Structure 1
Amino acid sequence: MKKIGFVLLIGLLIACGDTQSQEGSPESESEQTEQNQESEKAAAENSNSSEEIEIEIDMEMPQVATYAWISEDSGIGWLSFYAIIENTGNTPFSMEESSVTYYNKEDEVIAVSATGIDVVPSIIQPGEQAYVSVYEQLGEESPENFKSAELSPAPVTVDYELEEVSTETSLQDVAVTGTFTEEIDPDMIEMSSALFDKDDQLLGILDAGQITAKSFELFDPPFPDEAKDAIDHEKTKAYR
């Protein structure tokens, strides 16, 4: 399990002061004037001080699956990166500005995700998990020379949350079909299905397909041929 943490420090100005009004003799008024001057000086010093409050952006990646493969159907080479990430910090964040870099066995960069990454839900609340899916064309590189893929997180704090949508699903080959338990706006929904083997190990993630107001079928991105036979079950997330 890989853990990544970020800490943001926010300075808050704290002003404090204490004023009193008393009546009495000239001596007591003189003493009071000196006390007031000291109080005003202390208040001015305190008004320029700041207290640092920590906002923790922490996340873990309990499961990651990466592939370099040639599609049996199209003959096109693909690089695939799938992950489950969990917000273990204390504030919601977005990961859509992050990127994935792919390396060969010579530790050379062979591809970088150029259009961001697909994350569902896009706003990850504390304690919540999200599905990450990224894929790029392999190009001239051989799948056998692929070494690794690395997620470069760029979390951004947010102050709102998404509403989870209930679904009923079924798994058919390398596609997840189902219905929404209530009618939704297809343009406002974000969803993906993670595919697992019989030991609940992540194999890949589907995050696109055909979505209507009442039903859906997820079958994209291209799924690695080597993992198809191991698919046992799916878990679907949907939000709006």
Structure 2
Amino acid sequence: MRKIILLFSLVFIMFLTACSNGEMAGDTNANASANNDENTKEKEETKEESEAKLEIVQSTGGAWKDSIDTVWVHSSAVFENTGDIPVEINETQMNFKGKDGEVLGTAPMIYAVPSVVGPGETAFISESTILEGISDAESYGETTYNFGFDKTDQSPNLLETSGIKGTIGDEYSNPYKVTGLVKNTTGEKQDDIQLAAALFDKDGKLLGVLNGSVDVGVNSGSEAGFELNYPEIPRDVAEKVENIEVKAYGWTW
């Protein structure tokens, strides 16, 4: 009898141990699954946060006829990096459309200034060209943009500008020009400096963009003057300019 009771007790203890181990394994598997789901979610969120994004936040365009009845168009835009990582802006194509939606002309291989923009930063782009075969400037309606960009670890290599001044041109010169100084604030000589000046009205609306370059090398700590009057903007918007924002970046060959 004593042996039977001892055997029964041993079986009962083994049963309790098995039940206890089963519950622990179940909890462990559930926690592991929850942890895996959480890790996957975090990775997806990190991927979304690191996505490269670039948008056109402002654009403008206008057409006019010159003294020999040639129809010109000026278009410009402001890019903004709306992502969380730096991007490099590739070539942009402008498509000049009529009010009826037809394409009046295109301008390929246009480059932004600067070409690399960090999160929350902006870049400018512009072009003026003849609309071949178009006799009426009023037929122009809008400009659309095709552009590409890639994530990058490059620096924008931005330089400081000062003494910015805008001047309305007379009937014999370009409608508007921007002058100022650019300083090489990097630690090495800049062989080429690209500049762009965005022109805004009193309400912050984009009117046009002028661009140009300083082709001579500028040593570290030195500065150089610049004058921007190209591409030509519609003459009737020159007098509306209230604010000017200049961006400059350097190249080292």
TM over 0.5: yes
Kindly report which structure 2 residues correspond to 1:131-146, keeping only aligned pairs within 5 A, or say none: 131-141=124-134, 142-146=136-140
- Give 2:227's match in structure 1, choosing from 217, 222, 225: 217
Deviation string, structure 1 residues 135-188 (Cα, Å, up to 9, x no partner): 321112221111211111211222201222111121122111112244896742
- Structure 1 residue 178 corresponds to structure 2 residue 158: no
Q: Report the alpha carbon displacement of residue 68 of structure 1 after superposing the two structures with TM.
A: 1.6
Structure 1 residues 109 and 178, CA gap change in structure 2 (3 angstroms): same
Deviation string, structure 1 residues 78-130 (Cα, Å, up to 9, x no partner): 2221111110112222223221111112321111212x123111111111111
Q: SS at the partner of 2:158?
A: coil
RMSD: 2.4
Match of 1:68? 63
Structure 1 residues 185 and 134, CA gap change in structure 2 (3 angstroms): farther
Match of 2:207? 203
Q: Which runs of 5+ in 1 are unaligned?
A: 1-49
- Give 1:120's match in structure 2, choosing from 113, 136, 140: 113
Q: Which runs of 5+ in 2 are unaligned?
A: 1-39, 169-175, 219-223
Match of 1:148? 142
> 2 CA distance for matches of 1:194 and 1:208?
12
Q: How many residues align?
A: 189
- Give 1:190's match in structure 2, choosing from 189, 194, 197: 194
> Could you say which structure has the higher helix fraction?
2
Do 1:209 and 1:219's aligned partners in 2 also have CA atoms closer than 8 Å?
no
- Structure 1 residue 232 corresponds to structure 2 residue 226: no
Do 1:98 and 1:155's aligned partners in 2 also have CA atoms closer than 8 Å?
no
Do 1:186 and 1:211's aligned partners in 2 also have CA atoms closer than 8 Å?
no
Which is further off, 56-65 or 200-209?
56-65
Q: Which amino acid is the alignment partner of residue 178 of structure 1? A: G
> 2 CA distance for matches of 1:150 and 1:81?
9
Kindly report which structure 2 residues correspond to 1:152-171, keeping only aligned pairs within 5 A, or say none: 152-168=146-162, 169-171=164-166
> 1 CA distance for matches of 2:198 and 2:137?
23
- Give 1:129's match in structure 2, choosing from 122, 126, 138: 122
Structure 1 residues 102 and 159, CA gap change in structure 2 (3 angstroms): same
> Could you say which structure has the higher strand fraction?
1
Q: Normalising to structure 1: TM-score of the pair?
A: 0.70
> 2 CA distance for matches of 1:57 and 1:81?
25
> 2 CA distance for matches of 1:225 and 1:161?
36
Q: Please tell me whether Structure 1 or Structure 2 has the larger radius of gyration of its CA atoms.
A: 2
Structure 1 moving runs of 4+ over 6 Å: none
Q: Which amino acid is the alignment partner of residue 200 of structure 1? A: G
Do 1:68 and 1:79's aligned partners in 2 also have CA atoms closer than 8 Å?
yes
Structure 1 residues 187 and 181, CA gap change in structure 2 (3 angstroms): closer
Match of 2:25? none
Q: Normalising to structure 2: TM-score of the pair?
A: 0.67
Do 2:194 and 2:212's aligned partners in 1 also have CA atoms closer than 8 Å?
no
Match of 2:93? 99
> 2 CA distance for matches of 1:199 and 1:120?
23
Q: Report the alpha carbon displacement of residue 75 of structure 1 after superposing the two structures with TM.
A: 4.5
Q: Report the alpha carbon displacement of residue 77 of structure 1 after superposing the two structures with TM.
A: 2.0
> 1 CA distance for matches of 2:66 and 2:159?
33
